[in-house]
Chain A
């Protein structure tokens, strides 16, 4: 199967005052379609930066990044935003739901960028919320949901546009064990049942167990750990 992600010689540094802090150093790897990849490593190893680059919310200093057939490092901001809306479903550690919107409205947000009719959007939102098991919580606001439920709404928001790739940054990092298990089971189901390619950053070895492939990063490079 053709790789859905091709990372070639990617480097990235951040600047703090006048100090350059290298985060990723000449990283190269491929991810085939349908893969469930876990990126692990200590804090500061560069795993979230790599995830952000793959998701098109940050840019590499060097190297090329082909994701879903597009060299995203060459896209301007406007095209990159459009590309993200089509190809990426992002799951955050702290859910990042919009507090003034209901679960339904939060899941509907990415669909506002499409040309779908109201009826079609409704169908998409209801499907996504059914997949995550929250069809009975559509009218609830985030503050009326538990952490696990909020993360499930966030996953529904990530899958509602049927993106090419799901990226998850510590999706269980803020959850208790039971809720974390539910989320991991859901991600596993999205990968196996709905053939979604998933790249997940995690510290949690139990979370990594759900992935097909686990890559360890240390000081901006892949390690053999």
Chain B
């Protein structure tokens, strides 16, 4: 018999209690993984932002447009490498639950500005040639089965009417932080129709994206852009892409912060659950530990026995929780409305955090029982009635 066998037998002495504790830890780890994944998904846009890109929007609010004419003026500012623009289109595809980003963009420059959207050159050329063409991400292909040549019909809301777009390209996200669920089409297509149907809305873009030569000059360039349009009808606010993305999250910041906090509260709860189990176990075995000490088992052996049992339970629960977290998170993603979280996956850091938390919990939960066992003399231990 080895000590590991003894630890195993001790851990399974009260099978129901151990099983319930392991399940409790597993559920807590799953909840931790889910909360962390949601928080990570919220911040995925921030993570994907590039240091050399600036966003210029209307100073009053993002929802107000900017004149298309600003483009050339911005291009002339020293340090600006390239300028493109985009316009939020929205609309309804099938029904309002089918949410994904639909944007009018400058076909000539957009994919040059965003190399993280990887498009086959032939498809990109086909897209540029056809005014009502669109490019969709692989996430939409997976979700709706789009293929080249398909027509996507959108009922306009911000821009009323029925809009038909022909899929001419499919972009692949360069990395996992890139949203694969966008649909991008020609701004000129939108603008031409606005010119015919509501001239007051033509010649407007939602925001400008500026690529600068030197990221260290972002503050200087931003000031120059905003200074250029000061006291105009549409003053601008220019900031780094990261700051722009963070601004989007600011409104939900408290909720996200709370979720982040809760994920760590869960770790505390696990600690109490395992700690309670270990304290009960150690108290019941006070006289047994005294017998071990009488036989010549040292303080180190006692630490090993108690810590081993605590670690066995917490690591088993943590492992089970992590194994179940993958389908659990996938199940959660399946039930939330499509498009809420374009990138929703368990990050390696979440796995590391959950795994190391389980180990930490195992260690911390054993501290009090260890201290109590070592402090109790053999004579007092042998007298104890568990």
Residues in chain A within 8 A of chain B (CB atoms)? 52, 55, 57-58, 77-78, 81-86, 88, 90, 92, 96, 98-101, 105, 108-110, 112-113, 157
Shortest CB-to-CB span from B17 to chain A, Å, is 14
Interface residues of B in 1-39 (CB under 8 A from A): 1-3, 5-6, 9-10, 12-13
Q: Report the stretch among B168-176, B225-233, B241-249, B290-298 that lies at the interface.
A: B290-298
Q: Which chain A residue has the least Cβ–Cβ distance from B12? A: A100
Q: Which chain B residue has the least Cβ–Cβ distance from A163? A: B296
Asked whether A57 lies within 8 Å of B294 as measured between CB atoms, the reply is yes
Shortest CB-to-CB span from B357 to chain A, Å, is 29
Q: What A residues does B10 contact at CB under 8 A? A: 100
Shortest CB-to-CB span from B268 to chain A, Å, is 31
Residue from B1, B287, B293, B297 with most neighbouring chain A CB atoms (10 Å)? B1
Shortest CB-to-CB span from A155 to chain B, Å, is 14
Counting CB contacts under 8 A, is B81 at the interface?
no
Asked whether A96 lies within 8 Å of B297 as measured between CB atoms, the reply is no
Tell whether A86 pairs with B296 under 8 Å between CB atoms, given A58-B379, A112-B1, A112-B3. yes
Complex formed: what's the CA distance from A185 to B293 in Å?
28
Shortest CB-to-CB span from B308 to chain A, Å, is 14
Where chain A touches its partner, the secondary structure class is helix
The contact sample of 14 A-B pairs, CB cut-off 8 A, is: A58-B379, A77-B298, A81-B293, A81-B296, A83-B296, A84-B294, A88-B294, A96-B382, A100-B9, A100-B10, A100-B13, A108-B1, A112-B2, A113-B297
Tell whether A101 pairs with B6 under 8 Å between CB atoms, given A58-B379, A112-B1. yes
Q: What A residues does B6 contact at CB under 8 A? A: 98, 100-101
Counting CB contacts under 8 A, is B217 at the interface?
no
Counting CB contacts under 8 A, is B288 at the interface?
yes
Residue from B6, B296, B297 with most neighbouring chain A CB atoms (10 Å)? B296
Asked whether B296 lies within 8 Å of A52 as measured between CB atoms, the reply is no
What 3 A-B pairs have minimum CB-CB distances, sorted nearest first?
A85-B296, A100-B9, A57-B378
Asked whether A92 lies within 8 Å of B296 as measured between CB atoms, the reply is no
Q: What B residues does A90 contact at CB under 8 A? A: 294-295
Complex formed: what's the CA distance from A98 to B377 in Å?
19
Tell whether A101 pairs with B9 under 8 Å between CB atoms, given A96-B288, A96-B291. yes
A84 contact from B5, B9, B296, Cβ within 8 A: B296
Counting CB contacts under 8 A, is B77 at the interface?
no
Counting CB contacts under 8 A, is B299 at the interface?
yes
